[in-house]
Amino acid sequence: MSRITPVILSGGSGTRLWPVSRAARPKQLQPIVGNETMLQATARRVADGNTFQAPIVVANADHADEVEAQLAAVSASPSALILEPVGRNTAPAIALAALEAEAGALLLVLPSDHLIAEEAAFAAAIATAAPLAAEGWLVTFGILPDRAETGYGYIRRGKEIAPGAFAAERFVEKPDRATAEAYLADGGYDWNGGIFLFRAGRYLEELARHAPDILESVRAALEGARREGNRLYPDPAPFAAARSRSIDYAVMEPAEKIAVVPVAMGWSDVGSWDALYDIVPSDVAGNVTVGEVLAIDSDNCLLRSDGPLIAAVGVSDLIVVATDEAVLILPRGESQRVKEIVDALSEKRARYR
């Protein structure tokens, strides 16, 4: 089996972890859990030279130096650093990497801002998936649901095609609450975690079939690309013209020969401060504290500082996140409301976004 080429997607700029994650320094470039940034943890996870080639990294051009420095710091320098002039979601980003790779290369597509606590389970799932990918399957890794989450897509498992691997019967985009509960009860559905393994050529083949305009734009962007060492700058005009579409919509849902390998690997996309609270072990008072924090007679709080000292007395069930520029305060369980804050930051206050 040839070695796998990790494709690390670092183009996101989510603000769900505001004020730590911001346009100028998104989540994946921050140490959200532990001391490594999420990008570094992602790269280190696929650093074993017996299994993996050097990664291809797709990032926002604004973050080029930071991405390069972070990867160098964990000895995970990419074979190619593809720098998007603008974000166009995952289908074009993966197309850039697939066109840059050999057609026969096995690509392991990895978001750079997910946590995987059980790395051995992940490695085993990759070992299960690799022969299928080599045979032409587009493999997605299915996350075993532990709650009726409405924020993720689901995959319906079909017939078992190899031990621990199933044909994907159907992709379902973010369901409503009742549907999500039915999926959870059914047991035959996995979350779509956004991690994929396939041959580069197979992805491009399906993209050509189901979203040929995207492939055409990306191909044109690479034909006009500028190269500097391992850096690759796609031609901005054609890339900007690419339709913004996720791989799920553009390829995985309509395509043939999709497999799912379910895996329990302690996965989280750390999609909110509440999610972070759930991931990190709390102290005896039920508090999760990060950075300079003094908590007196306070319980069940997430108290995180990347800057000023946080001093809390007599509070419960709060999320407090402080940076040098902004302090977030909201009740636990309501961290999706961060979006209201980011939306409410007027032009005058755009510097806080």
Q: Minimum distance from CB of 180 to its own copies (Å)?
A: 24
Q: Tell me if 43 sits within 8 A of 76, measured CB to CB.
A: yes
Cis previous bond, 262, omega within 30: no
Task: Please select the residue that binds its own copies; options are 36, 119, 169, 334, rule is CB under 8 A.
Answer: 334
C-alpha span between 302 and 320 (Å, rounded): 6
Task: Please select the residue that binds its own copies; options are 7, 230, 315, 350, rule is CB under 8 A.
Answer: 315
CB burial readout 22-46, b (16+ within 10 A) else e: beeebbbbbebbeebbbbbbbbebb
Q: Tell me if 194 sits within 8 A of 111, measured CB to CB.
A: yes
C-alpha span between 251 and 233 (Å, rounded): 24
Contacts with its own copies: how many residues (CB under 8 A)? 36
Helix axes 200-210, 212-223, angle to 10 degrees: 120
CB-count burial class (<10 Å; 0-12, 13-18, 19+) for 79: middle
Dihedral, CA of residue 275, residue 67, residue 76 and residue 201, to nearest 10: 90
**Does the footprint of its own copies cover residue 255 (CB under 8 A)?**
no
**Does the footprint of its own copies cover residue 232 (CB under 8 A)?**
no
CB burial readout 269-288, b (16+ within 10 A) else e: bbbbbbbbbeebeeeeeebb
Q: Minimum distance from CB of 339 to its own copies (Å)?
A: 10
In this complex, which beta carbon is closest to its own copies, that of residue 210 or of residue 304? 304
Q: Minimum distance from CB of 50 to its own copies (Å)?
A: 45
Element (H, E) at 274: helix 273-279
**Does the footprint of its own copies cover residue 138 (CB under 8 A)?**
no
| Cβ count within 10 A of residue 7 | 29
**Does the footprint of its own copies cover residue 307 (CB under 8 A)?**
yes
- Which of 88-96, 205-213, 241-249, 319-327 is the region at the interface with its own copies (rule: CB under 8 A)? 319-327
- Which of 34-42, 99-107, 180-188, 329-337 is the region at the interface with its own copies (rule: CB under 8 A)? 329-337
Q: Minimum distance from CB of 338 to its own copies (Å)?
A: 8
Q: Minimum distance from CB of 6 to its own copies (Å)?
A: 36
Task: Please select the residue that binds its own copies; options are 50, 159, 314, 350, rule is CB under 8 A.
Answer: 314
Q: Minimum distance from CB of 334 to its own copies (Å)?
A: 5
Q: Minimum distance from CB of 291 to its own copies (Å)?
A: 11
Task: Please select the residue that binds its own copies; options are 123, 172, 241, 327, rule is CB under 8 A.
Answer: 327
Task: Please select the residue that binds its own copies; options are 54, 310, 347, 350, rule is CB under 8 A.
Answer: 310
**Does the footprint of its own copies cover residue 313 (CB under 8 A)?**
yes
**Does the footprint of its own copies cover residue 226 (CB under 8 A)?**
no
In this complex, which beta carbon is closest to its own copies, that of residue 10 or of residue 323? 323
Q: Tell me if 290 sits within 8 A of 309, measured CB to CB.
A: no
Task: Please select the residue that binds its own copies; options are 55, 268, 311, 347, rule is CB under 8 A.
Answer: 311
Q: Minimum distance from CB of 294 to its own copies (Å)?
A: 6
Q: Minimum distance from CB of 2 to its own copies (Å)?
A: 50
**Does the footprint of its own copies cover residue 299 (CB under 8 A)?**
no
Contacts of 40 (CB under 8 A, 6+ apart): 70, 71, 73, 74, 76
The DSSP annotation for 159-228 comes to EEEETTEEEEEEEE-S--HHHHHHHHHH--EEEEEEEEEEEHHHHHHHHHHH-HHHHHHHHHHHHT-EEE
Binding site for its own copies (CB under 8 A): 19, 292, 294, 296-297, 305, 307-315, 318, 320, 322-331, 334, 337-338, 340-341, 344-345, 349, 352
